[in-house]
Structure 1
Amino acid sequence: MLEEPRAGRLAAWGNALLTGRVSPDDAAAGAVGPDDSHRMAGLPGEAGPVGLTLAFGRLRGLGVTALRVALPAPGHPLGLCGPPEFNAAALEAGEAVLAPEAGVGLVPEVSEEQAAGVKRVTVVWRVAEVRRDLPPDVPSLSEAERELAVLLRETAEGIARLGLPEAGPVARAELEAYRARAERDRALLAPGYPPRAVRVLELARRVAELVVIASAPEHDGALSAGQSALRAELIRPVERAARRAQVAAYNACAEEAARGGR
């Protein structure tokens, strides 16, 4: 849950390009994680995968004016609009990028390899047709912010009731690694995003950190049956709320474009 979705980064920098705030080369560089190599496959007129600089131009030629993020999970197809085969591929990947107004969707295929002790990640975004309906069940930024604020308070109170004021060494190591990545990638939302979108993502991160503390395996043996049940009740809604907030934040530019606010 602490990882930032590749779909979010691709959509954010794609939107910055589509709204004229960055150059194609800057958008392509910003959309790629520090250890990733990205290409796009299935674009009309292209025989094979192409780099993101060219791919963004091809998407614009297909009528794409804004990109949206989907972060589906079993039983919760958040951000998806169909058809079923696209939804199934996106669910398997756990993420996708969509431009439903243009009938275009992208699903990542991720592969990893080790060479000389260095991990290389290759991401191929597969282009497919999607329905031209806006996805349901996607909150506005204000809705997501309110939901997360309440959840943050309730989760913190629940952790206090469990008597787990701080995480064990495994959870602390995970949190420290995540915070280092978050600091390195501080400008995850590309130019053009409203401050509220940044604030919502920060809230989602804080909620996720609390969940790491609550779910640290070091605490398992110290919890009674009642405490374990309380922990499950605390954690259950958090993953869904955090994903909803991420989608709302990454989709802020697309929502603004749909309102004619570009």
Structure 2
Amino acid sequence: MLEEPRSGRLAAWGNALLSGRISPDGAMHHIVGDDALHRVSGLPGEEGRVGLTLALGRLRALGATGLRVALPVAGHPLGLSGPPEFNARALAAEEAVVVCGGPGLGLVPEVTAVGPAGDEHVEVLWECLPVREGPPADVPTLGEAERELAEAMREATAALARLDVAGAGPAARAALEAYQARMERGQQLLAPGYPPRAARVLELAQRVGALVAIAYGPEGADAEHGGAVSAAEMAARREVLRPVERTARRAQVAAYNAFVEERERRASDEVR
């Protein structure tokens, strides 16, 4: 949870592009980030793999009005609505983007490291698949997410102290320092058009997620688990942290999806 999901970047900056708030070049800069290349396959009306700029333009021509995020894990299909094939692919990737409007499509990333050892770069292929129309699973409102996160932050902090993570070793301290450095750089978490509350919720979700990742420690490295050196104690740690991690993921999805939720709320108000 320390890193921003690629589906979040695609949804946030793709929404800004679809709504005319940013140029294609600006959107691609933020979506691709440090990756070398993003392409899309399976897009209706296009043969083979196409560039992300062309793909977003094609989706808009097909009627796309916005993009939502899904961050599912085993036992928690967060943000998904089916069908089973799309859900299975999204679950394997632990993330996906669902297109709002148009023929009902979703995008699942396949991430590949290419190049010689020591000079590798990352390429991302987004596969376009049919999705079922319906409410996404278990996505809270921004208000609900913010309240849940406040409680989760207290629980995560207490868990860190109780599980002796403060003395968890150099890897945990390095992870915390890296997280703090990212926050100090003033990273722009969301694209233009998002409500300020969404950025606040996303920042807090990432902070809680960072604490959870640090509390877990590197898997299999007993020296990095602080006081939790036995298998039973490690299992207890996972049990304590699992609901906190779930809350942080739900809040991330709520924040990334706030653009679409806000647009739909305004459209409903205009109808009334």
Q: TM-score scaled to structure 2, two decimals?
A: 0.87
- What is residue 136 of structure 1 aligned with on the other side? 137
Paired with 1:251 and 1:221, the residues of 2 have a C-alpha distance of 37
The structure-2 alpha-carbon separation of the partners of 1:47 and 1:183, relative to structure 1 and needing over 3 Å to count, comes to farther
CA distance 1:52–1:182, shift in 2 (3 Å): farther
CA gap 1:148/1:177 in 2 versus in 1, 3 angstroms: same
Q: Shift in Å at residue 48 of structure 1?
A: 1.6
1:200 is the counterpart of 2:201: yes
Counterpart Cα distance in 2 of 1:220 and 1:116: 30
Q: Return 91-100 or 28-37, whichever deviates more.
A: 28-37
Q: Distance in 2 between matches of 1:28 and 1:119?
A: 21
Instruction: State the match for 2:40 in structure 1.
Output: 40
C-alpha deviation, 1:41, in angstroms: 1.2
Using structure 1 for the length normalisation, give the TM-score: 0.91
Q: Find the counterpart in structure 1 of residue 263 from structure 2.
A: 257
Alpha carbon RMSD of aligned pairs, Å? 2.3
Equivalent runs, 1:94-109 vs 2, <5 Å: 94-102=94-102, 103-109=104-110
* Matched letter for residue 126 of structure 2: W
Question: Structure 1 stretch 76-85 or stretch 153-162: which is displaced more?
Answer: 153-162
Q: Give 1:77's aligned residue.
A: 77
Question: How many angstroms does 1:150 deviate by?
Answer: 0.2
Count matched residues: 262
Is residue 172 of structure 1 aligned with residue 178 of structure 2? no
Matched ranges for 1:5-24 at <5 A: 5-24=5-24
In structure 2, what residue type is equivalent to 1:207? V
Please list every run of at least 4 consecutive aligned residues from structure 1 whose deviation after the TM superposition is greater than 6 angstroms: none
Residue aligning to 1:244: 250
> Structure 1 180/41 Cα, relative in aligned 2: closer, same or farther at 3 Å?
farther
Secondary structure of 2:132's aligned partner: coil
Q: Is the 8 A contact 1:141 1:245 kept in 2?
A: yes
Structure 1 residue 184: deviation in Å? 5.8
Q: Do the aligned partners of 1:78 and 1:244 also contact (CA within 8 Å) in 2?
A: yes
- Deviation digits for residues 19-50 of structure 1, max 9, x if unmatched? 22101221122211213310111122211211
Alpha-carbon displacement from aligned partner over 1:224-249 (angstroms, at most 9, x marks no partner): 87865652332111221111011001
- Amino acid paired to 1:201: L
Residue 219 of structure 1, CA deviation: 5.2
Q: Does 1:222 align with 2:227?
A: yes
Structure 1 unpaired stretches of 5+ = none
> Using a 3 Å threshold, how does the CA distance of structure 1 residues 43 and 232 change in structure 2: closer, same or farther?
closer
SS in 2 for 1:76: coil
Deviation at 1:178, TM superposition (A): 4.1
Q: Percent identity?
A: 62
Gaps of 5+ in 2: none
